[in-house]
Structure 1
Amino acid sequence: MKRAYVVLAEGFELIEAMTPVDVLKRCGVDVETLSIGEKLEVTSSQGVTVRADRFFEDEKFRDGDLLVLPGGYPGYENIGKHLGVMDLAKYYLEEGKVLGAICGAPSALAKAGLLKGRRVTSHFTVRELLGEVDYVDEKVVVDENLITSTGAGRSLEFSLALGEALTSREVLEKVKKGMTLL
C-alpha cells in the first residue's frame, strides 16, 4: 500500500490539507497527518482545529511515497522555518518520491533552494519569492516527482494529481466517478 504524509503547521490552509487526505484515502493510500508543533491539535488559518495523527518529530517519515505541504498563512512560513520538513522535502525530491506543494508552500521550498530549474506554479502572492524556476501559469503543474498548485480553489485538482501520481488513471477514474466528478 502506498503511504502519504501531510504536514500540518499552525495557520495551514484547511482545504489544501484535508482535500488531499480525503482524495488519497479514496485512492487506497495510507495517509497520516503530521504536526510540526508541540501539540497534535493544529489550528488552520480559518480557525478550525484539526488533530494530527502524529508528531513530525516521532520519526524520520522517509518510508512514504508522497509528502504534501499545504499553504495557508502563516502555515507555509511555519513549514519553511522547520529545517526537518525542508530536509525531508529534499530527501523526497532526490529519491524520486512525490512531493506536493500548494499555494504558498512552493515559496518555502524555493527559500530552501529546492526548486532551482524546476517547472512550478504557486499562489500569485508568492510568485516573486520563487527565484530561479520555470514558472508556469497553470492550476496544477507536474514536473517529474514535484506537483505544485496555485491555491485553495484548486485543492481538488491538486489532490487528484497527487492520487494519479501514486496510483493509476484507472483508480483515479473510479474515485472521480464515486465523487460524481464524471
Structure 2
Amino acid sequence: MADTDTLSFRRILIMATDGFEQSELEVPLERLEDAGADVDIASIEMGEITGWDEDDWGEDIEVDLTIADVKVDDYDALVLPGGQINPDLLRVDEKAVALIRDFASAGKPIAAICHAPWLLIEAGLAKGRRLTSYKSIRTDVANAGAEVVDEAVVIDGNIITSRCPDDLPDFCDAIIAMLTKVPLG
C-alpha cells in the first residue's frame, strides 16, 4: 500500500507510558507519518517514556503532551500500543481511561494491539464487541463480554484490534483504511 499523503490533514494520538511494546508504538507512528498524518504522543507526564523491546528495556521516545492536556476534538483517531506494562499502568489512570471513553463517545477510531484491549475493557468498551488481543488476555476480554477471535486484525465499528507485533502490517493498514473513509472533521 502506498501511504504517501493518504492521511494529509489527519491528526492521530498515540497514548502510551513506560513499558510500551517498542514496535507497537514505533511501527504505527512511522506508517501514519509516512501516510501524511500528524502524530502526537501523549502520556501521563511530560518528558520521555521508555519502551520494552522483546525481553529488555528499549528506546526512549519524547512525549508531546500529557493525557490531561489532550483535546479529543483536535484528533481524528487514538492508537493504543500494547506490551504488558504500558496498558497495565494506563488502565489505573483515571484520565487515560476517560480519554479513551471520550474518543469512543465522539465516534472516533480507536486502535488497540496486544495487551491494549485491557484499556478497552477498563473504559467499558468491550461488552458486545468482536475483538482480538494477545493470547494471554483473551480470557479477560471474553469475561468483559466481548466475542474473542484469533485473527490478525478485527474491526468492530470504530474499534480496531490486533494480537501482537506480527500483526502490525495488517493493524496499520486497517487504521489507514478506516481514516481514509472517515470524513475530516
TM-score range, shorter chain: 0.7 to 0.9
Change (3 A) 1:166 1:51: same
Q: Is 1:112 matched up with 2:123?
A: yes
Query: For structure 2, which runs of at least 5 residues remain unmatched after alignment?
Result: 1-8
The answer to whether 1:44 aligns with 2:57 is: no
Which residue does 2:168 correspond to in 1? 155
Gaps of 5+ in 1: 169-182
Partner of 1:53: 64
1:140 paired to 2:148: no
Matches within 5 A, 1:1-182: 1-36=9-44, 38-46=45-53, 47=57, 48-130=59-141, 131-167=144-180
Q: CA deviation at 1:56?
A: 2.0
- The structural deviation recorded for 1:97 is 0.5
CA displacement 1:6-57 (0-9 Å, x = unmatched): 0121100011111111111111111111122x34210112222111222223
Tell me the TM-score normalized by structure 2: 0.84
Q: CA deviation at 1:89?
A: 1.2
Deviation at 1:59, TM superposition (A): 3.5
Q: TM-score, normalised by structure 1?
A: 0.86
Asked if structure 1 preserves the Cα contact closer than 8 Å seen for 2:129 and 2:146, the reply is: yes
